[in-house]
Amino acid sequence: MSAELVFMMGEYQAVFPVDRQYAKNHMWASREPSGSWRFGFSAYAVRLLQDVYFLDLTIEPGMELSERQEIGSIESKKAESSLYSPIAGRVSDLNRQLLEDPSMINVDKYGRGWLFEINGDESPLLSSNDYLQHLSAAWQVAQRTIKGQANA
């Protein structure tokens, strides 16, 4: 097992392998032998989404993407959200099995639950430590949002 960092979301532990990088939109990135970056959802995103049941990617291999370009949508028990590219580059692969059964995001987020691969500029990506700092700020906003919904 590789080294991990833990971020506490209330009583829930969101675990983050340190052998990869992270995007501010809560995706992990691992460098593949081909040189492309493979992306999936971090434990933080999966916890907020809870029970993903629908995934639609509007991208195909060969497409050029800009950073933060809309690339699809996801639906879960807790949320329906648009998805955005974490980096600029060319799509090199999609996890087609995941499109047929997105529940793999819930059970193997750092393995078979990967979304897509991009050959591109990794400069926007964060180290695991920098991502943990980013989460501290994001969690404060998320808690206010959750409490606001609970009080509505």
Is 66 within 8 Å of 90 (Cβ atoms)? no
Q: Per the domain annotation, does 97 fall within a domain?
A: yes
Q: Per the domain annotation, does 10 fall within a domain?
A: yes
Q: Per the domain annotation, does 150 fall within a domain?
A: no
pLDDT in tens, 71-98: 999 999 888 999 999 999 999 999 999 9
Q: Per the domain annotation, does 18 fall within a domain?
A: yes
Prediction pTM value: 0.90
CATH of the domain at 58: 2.40.50.100
How many domains is the chain built from? Answer: 1
Domain residues for the domain of 9 are 4-143
Q: Per the domain annotation, does 148 fall within a domain?
A: no
pLDDT in tens, 18-37: 999 999 999 999 999 999 99
